[in-house]
A and B are shown apart, each in its own frame.
Chain A
Amino acid sequence: MANAVRLRPIVRGAVVGSVLRSDRSISLWGGVDPASGTIIDRRHDRHGESIAGRVFALPGEKGSSTGSAVLLELIRIGLAPAAIVTRHPSPAVTLGAIVAEELYGKSIPIFLATEAGFRALRDGERIDIAEDGEVRRVTAAAPRP
């Protein structure tokens, strides 16, 4: 990945974490279990995996308008992704993060990626995103066991 990757911060914050990238959008409600952070949408390619603590990169959030409630609850119980990066603006995701900040004083950063920026995020790779959206440090993806 080139070091020039820059994401657009939507809800600001710096983060370090490993990327969980999917090329499929998800509905957080009905798609992710709000009590555990596990993907429960059987049609989703990452079904069964947990988004907790990951830099969750996906094209967008779709479906029901309850997605923000799922994210708010995941943030409250500490099982939210470390950050969410989307290709397309996702109001439910942005809102969940903003309300968490206003209500609980804690949140997660949300970033918007260009097509190239999104492609540059490799699944499993550990990345460091600065508050301004610059992807500053990238280590090679850990070999899969």
Chain B
Amino acid sequence: MKLTAEDRRVLDGERGEAARFALSVIVRMAEAAGAERLLSIEQAHIDACALMSQSSLDLVSHLAEHDGRVSVPTTLSMVSLDLEHWKTLGVNPSFADKASRIAQAYQKLGCIPTWTCAPYQGYLTPRFGQQIAWGESNAVAYANSVLGARTNRYPDYLDICAAITGRVPYTGLHRTENRRATVHFHVERARARDWETPAAWAAFGSLIGSLALDGVPVMDGLPAFRPSNDMLKAFGAAAASSGSIELFHMVGITPEAPDLASASHGRPPSKAVAVTRRQLADAWDELSNADDGSPVDAVILGCPHVSYAEFVALSEAIARLGAARIRPNVQFLVFAGATTVELARRGGLLDPIERWGARIVRDTCPFHSPVVAPTARVIATDSGKCAYYAPGELKARVAFGTLGACVEAAVTGRMPRGEAPWRTR
């Protein structure tokens, strides 16, 4: 593999142990992938900062203790803790201590303490065509597909190695030819009213993820309106959970798909699949595994982290309920980045939401931080990603529905029986 003179100096340890460690991991990964050379990147997003284990702390400590320093602007995904409010969330102090040490070590490396899994809705949004190295599967799908930046799905620890060295294997979606759509999904008889919530796009994403396998999907036949950023976020997060989608194209919506021919680089996609209303409705139903009408113990919004627009939607849904409050035995958690929470506070949205009884959790994630009550047996959510992971990670059953349905469930204690949009007439 071709290395520059500077790469060799780094590998020889002339730039310190942290840089040597990081580049040697990058080079070994490049060799394993059969890359001819490395590529310089301009930005990184780190997913490895969520506390998984002792090894997470060991790794970042090794880099920080050897004076590691990121060489490109680098944002951080969730940490395993609401860094400022963990005490009132009932988090165990020794867990908090370890998570805080990880957080401090990543900041010592020079990372920006954004602590969000939706970095594309906050700080340092990448540009079209920019080569970046991002971790966190939903963020990768969004950056590639919606923004048109170029990244592979950087697994934990390769992300920080890329940030320190500014170098990555020149493979996969960094290369134009691999961004070509290979599977064409044509949505049949789309009616705008079936697609008006992010939850509908999550169900759609879950279906496409399960059908596209290793391909790059392109969708057309979509309803004649422009989906919001939150709809595309919900789609990508679900598609990256049910499948391994790192890049998708939507004709007329995403930047590399002004039309079908452009998305598929002038050659027809190798596979064409019709998506029926029946399949979409089934995909929606499959996101729930709780029995209809079973009592809801917890509600999770913000997987990925909620945006300002979702804070607005939540406060409107609450306002529609009048004086109705959350049932005392229901835990209502809203996960968000601190920047968005601050905006919501300034926008006057936060007080009514908190007074109603919802709990805002910053910096972290329901699967990495012990904030969801371990006794919760049924979790309501509008997230396809949360619906996918909650049964395994939280040992709970899922009642999937719109944000409005989740708010109603918190008040009545039961998820309203919501027909999948595509099943209604």
Contacts and interface: CB of A to CB of B under 8 A. Distances in A.
A103 interface: yes
A64 interface: yes
A82 interface: no
Contact of B58 (A66, A88, A103): A103
B54 interface: yes
| Majority DSSP secondary structure for residues of A touching B | helix
A69 B53 contact: yes
B29 A95 contact: yes
Nearest to B138: A64
Interface string A30-71: 110010000011100000000000000000101111111110
Nearest to B157: A99
Contacts of A72: 53, 55, 59, 156-157
Interface string A82-95: 00000011011011
B32 A10 contact: yes
Interface stretch (B240-248, B260-268, B334-342): B240-248
A76 B155 contact: no
Interface stretch (B275-283, B351-359, B388-396): B388-396
B392 A92 contact: no
B391 A66 contact: no
B392 A68 contact: no
Interface residues of A, number: 36
A57 B240 CA distance: 22
A71 to B, nearest CB: 9
Contact of B153 (A11, A30, A65, A103): A65
A29 B32 CA distance: 22
B104 to A, nearest CB: 19
A29 B52 CA distance: 10
Interface residues of B, number: 41
Given A91-B33, A99-B59, A103-B62, A69 B48 contact: yes
A123 interface: no
B239 to A, nearest CB: 11
Given A31-B392, A65-B135, A72-B59, A102 B21 contact: yes
A29 B392 CA distance: 10
A28 to B, nearest CB: 10
A98 B392 contact: no
Contacts of B158: 68, 91, 95
A39 B135 CA distance: 23
Contact of B155 (A31, A40, A65): A65
B47 A65 contact: yes
B40 interface: no
A128 interface: no
A73 interface: yes
B182 interface: no
B36 interface: no
Interface in B1-44: 21, 24-25, 28-29, 32-33
A96 B240 CA distance: 20
A52 B33 CA distance: 26
A63 B157 contact: no
Given A10-B32, A76-B55, A64 B152 contact: no
Nearest to A98: B28
A63 B241 contact: yes
Contact of A30 (B154, B240, B389): B389
Interface string B378-406: 00000000001101110000000000000
By Cβ-Cβ distance, the 7 closest A-B pairs, closest first, are A92-B155, A73-B53, A68-B155, A62-B244, A69-B156, A69-B52, A72-B55
Interface of B: 21, 24-25, 28-29, 32-33, 47-48, 50, 52-56, 58-59, 62, 135-137, 140, 152-159, 214, 240-241, 243-244, 367, 388-389, 391-393
18 contacts: A40-B392, A64-B136, A65-B135, A65-B137, A65-B140, A67-B155, A73-B55, A76-B53, A95-B25, A95-B29, A95-B157, A95-B158, A98-B25, A99-B157, A102-B25, A103-B55, A103-B58, A104-B58
Given A89-B33, A102-B21, 19 more contacts: A10-B32, A30-B388, A31-B392, A41-B392, A42-B391, A42-B392, A60-B244, A63-B240, A65-B135, A65-B136, A66-B50, A69-B48, A69-B53, A76-B53, A91-B29, A91-B152, A98-B32, A103-B58, A103-B59
